[in-house]
Amino acid sequence: MLLLDRENLKELIREQWTLVVKRNCLVKCNKELKEYEHRLPLSSITHFSIDGDVLITHIHWGGKYYPVPYESGLAGEGLSPGKSLLLFGMPEKKGKRFHINILKKNGDIALHFNPRFDEKAVVRNSLISNEWGNEEREGKMPFEKAVGFDLEIKNEEYAFQVRNFLESH
């Protein structure tokens, strides 16, 4: 159970919490990642519980697969500043690259995020009025073939912030 008191609630709301159940149980709050051994076989888990003084803004339970290529509109104000898009996926074992595009209504690509296994790089760019901007390739390749990823794309005031939740593990 996740228990929070009201005193620390405002502080904790600003933090990102992630719980991932794979081989072991991984719990991440901001950049700190803790790993716990399972006490029961994963196949015996049927429920979970969250209790206490906490505001839950999102719960994702896996199992649904989407066809690729996949395109969807974003409800309401879209990906306005301060909002995040969370993606959960797994690169194919024999895959060379994949991309995620954040599109504007006029068809411009505000963010082109393109992990390339064949080049060991993650390329970031934008396409505005049919012209590509300057490619960015700095940083390490945080993805592995056939290994799941949990990705957050957050629209900050002047830039997109992209974070792989399990990158530090």
The answer to whether residues 78 and 48 belong to one domain is no
Closest by alpha carbon to 151, among 118, 122, 120?
Answer: 122
The answer to whether residues 72 and 147 belong to one domain is yes
The answer to whether residues 21 and 78 belong to one domain is no
The answer to whether residues 22 and 82 belong to one domain is no
The answer to whether residues 71 and 50 belong to one domain is no
CB atoms within 10 A of CB 102: 18
Q: Tell me whether residue 25 is exposed, middle or buried, using C-beta atoms within 10 angstroms of its C-beta: 0 to 12, 13 to 18, 19 or more.
A: middle
The answer to whether residues 47 and 106 belong to one domain is no
Q: Which of 11, 38, 59 is the last residue of a domain?
A: 59
pLDDT in tens, the chain (169 residues): 344 444 444 444 445 444 444 455 556 565 666 666 666 666 676 767 777 776 666 666 666 677 788 888 887 788 888 888 888 888 999 999 999 999 998 999 999 999 999 999 999 999 999 999 999 999 889 999 988 888 889 999 889 999 886 544 3
Q: What are the E-state strand segments in the chain?
A: 17-21, 25-29, 32-36, 84-89, 100-103, 109-116, 121-128, 131-132, 149-155, 160-164
Residue 72 in tokens: 């969807």
Q: Which one-letter DSSP state was computed for residue 156?
A: -
The answer to whether residues 35 and 108 belong to one domain is no
What is the reported pTM?
0.65
> CB–CB of 155/82 below 8 Å?
yes
The answer to whether residues 20 and 100 belong to one domain is no
Q: Which of 41, 59, 77 is the last residue of a domain?
A: 59
pLDDT value of residue 134: 96
The DSSP code sequence of 38-60 is: -SS-GGG-------SS-------
The answer to whether residues 2 and 81 belong to one domain is no
Domain of 44 in residue numbering reads as 1-59
> CB–CB of 69/131 below 8 Å?
no
Domain count, the chain: 2
pLDDT value of residue 10: 44
The answer to whether residues 38 and 94 belong to one domain is no
The answer to whether residues 51 and 68 belong to one domain is no
Contacts for 18-23: CB closer than 8 Å, 24+ residues apart: 18/150, 18/165, 20/150, 20/165, 20/166, 21/45, 22/148
pLDDT value of residue 5: 44
